[in-house]
Chain A
Amino acid sequence: MTDNGYEPKIVAFLCNWCTFTAADLAGTSRIKYQPNIRIIKVMCSSRVDPVFILKALLDGADGVLIGGCAPGDCHYSKGNFYARRKVALAKTLAQNMGLDTDRIRLSWIPASEGPKFAGVVNEFTEKIKKIGANPAGQEVFI
């Protein structure tokens, strides 16, 4: 917990085959990481419609993490390449519509890398804590 007690809420869309499995591994390996993420499991990172990311931000999520298999290692062979394009679209729209793109992160985390998963979550949480609360969360008329 930081000095001001601000605890961000981060929505994490994790692919079933790699990043979610990595999260599972981090848990079974008893690796501690920041408890700020709310995980939503998707079968593939390409399932994440840019709308999901933008809706999370508009509804006040302080950060959105999208986790998928490393390029070339996708369970469906090319899903993560499509995911990257979708995240690029969401980030571009966010950037041009007054939302902070630093709140969106796309990471490739293989199934065997529990420590990497914990590292990404910690790093991202720290970053969001520095940026502060999402102003959309305080907008009544959004």
Chain B
Amino acid sequence: METFINSRMTISEFIAAIFDKRETAGVAAMAKLPSGNKAAYTLFTDKKSAENSIPFFPAMPVNAAKAVSKFTRQASPSKEVAMFLRPCELRALTELVKIKQAGLDNLLLISFDCGGVFPFKEISISDEEKLKSYVDAFKNGKNCEGIRPVCAACTKFVPKENQADIVISLIGRKPHDPLVMSFPTEKGKNTAKALGIDLPDKTHTSPVAPSTAVESLFKEREEKEKKLKEKIKTGFADTGGLVSMFDRCISCHACSYVCPICYCKNCYFDSQTFEYFSESYFIRMGEKGALRLPVDRTLFHVGRLSHMGLSCVACGMCEDACPVNIPVSQIFKTIGSEAQAVFDYIPGKDLNEALPLLTYSESELETFED
């Protein structure tokens, strides 16, 4: 367990110091939009404009891992860029690195305890009451009313060691107080040195005690997670259940476009494979006497789950994007984790752990034969 220390810097001082003392080329974090009400993930290259950043703002207009992927896929930046990522974004990034869709060279990854985010449509910077109750809930280690359902049921809200270079502890604390941080990696430790933060090996620095609020939030969310999974599983009781779970779907495929794990430029489900001669519709119809058009709507979801479910980090982007309010991310979280359990795989846990379908052992899974 890494020790946390008081950096004696607020978040804005910390960002300024990264520019000044670490000579970082850029910082990526959430920022206020000029229209004033919404926020967007933004890359800053100068200190002055970075003053507009609000790294802890509880919204996720894009899963930052997707932004990092686009930023680094062709080549890594030539100079260091510091990027703020929530724990689920960090896990998604790990999965993307595994499938060679992102690079980590010259990135300084900064993560923080996550209190969850609100559905993007439902949160504004001017929404002071909501934001205040968010901060209060966070301080007390409770879920805030109105956050994404998968966030309220997320137990992986503390960034794991060695996933990030710098980890900021927020739960049980106030976001505008001086930051309590840990520096798990070599890169993180060097940053601390450059910023003049005393690491715990110095005798006059005493580590900060972990907050009990983390424990209580974990318990609340574990309970929520159990209930969420039960609810989804009941929905999929039989084939009729499967049909009704997705029967509102308008086949816009927005869930796959915002998904950080769905990286394919040409989605298999948009391909020629799923275009048929009209005659084959009659064959497919068999004795049903009717057929909903266009076809393969349910297959898209079931198939997408089979393609990315093992790497699903349950960030909730899909559900946010769904125009017809299908609980997509609750479904993918529930069923994805069942599939992950079969292979004893936790997406985003370890960069060196092979993807389940790209590895095997000779004696395993015998119950699935014959």
Q: A residues touching B (Cβ–Cβ < 8 Å)? A: 49-51, 54-55, 58-60, 71-72, 78, 81-82, 84-93, 95-99, 105-108, 134-142
Please tell me if the beta carbons of A96 and B243 are within 8 angstroms of each other in the complex.
no
Q: In the complex, how many angstroms separate the beta carbon of B229 from the nearest chain A beta carbon?
A: 10
Interfacial chain B residues near A107, Cβ < 8 Å: 369-370
Known contacts: A89-B310, A98-B239, A141-B243. The answer to whether A58 contacts B338 by CB under 8 A is: no
Which of A49, A85, A90, A95 counts the most B-chain CB atoms under 10 A from its CB? A85
Task: Verify if B36 is at the interface (C-beta below 8 Å from A).
Answer: no
Output the least CB separation between A20 and chain B (Å).
18
Main secondary structure of the interface of B (DSSP, over half): helix
* Complex CA–CA separation, A50 to B308 (angstroms): 12
Q: 20 A-B residue contacts at CB 8 Å?
A: A54-B306, A55-B296, A55-B299, A81-B361, A82-B360, A88-B342, A88-B368, A96-B236, A96-B339, A97-B236, A97-B302, A98-B236, A98-B238, A106-B370, A107-B370, A137-B286, A138-B288, A139-B239, A139-B240, A140-B292
CA distance A95 to B341 in the complex (A): 14
Query: Which of B306, B357, B370 meets A93, CB within 8 Å?
Result: B306
Cα A89 to Cα B355 in complex, Å, equals 13
Q: Please report B residues at the A interface, Cβ cutoff 8 Å.
A: 233, 236-243, 247, 268, 284, 286, 288-292, 296-299, 302-303, 305-307, 309-310, 334-335, 338-339, 342-343, 356-357, 360-362, 364-365, 368-370
Residue of chain B at shortest CB distance from A49? B306
* In the complex with contacts A135-B240, A136-B239, A138-B288, A85-B306 CB distance below 8 A: no
Q: Are A84 and B365 in contact (CB under 8 A)?
A: yes
- Contacting residues, chain B, for A92 (C-beta < 8 A): 338-339, 342
Residue of B nearest to A71 (CB): B362
Q: Which residues of B contact A60 (CB under 8 A)?
A: 284, 286
Binding site secondary structure of chain A:
helix
A59 and B284: CB pair below 8 A?
yes
- A-B pairs, top 8 by smallest CB distance, nearest first, are A81-B360, A50-B306, A98-B242, A88-B368, A51-B303, A135-B239, A140-B290, A141-B292
State whether B303 touches A55 (Cβ < 8 A): yes
Q: Is the CB of A141 within 8 A of B247?
A: yes
CB distance from B54 to the nearest CB of A (A): 39
A76 and B247 alpha carbons, distance in the complex (Å): 42
A45 to B266, CA, bound (A): 25
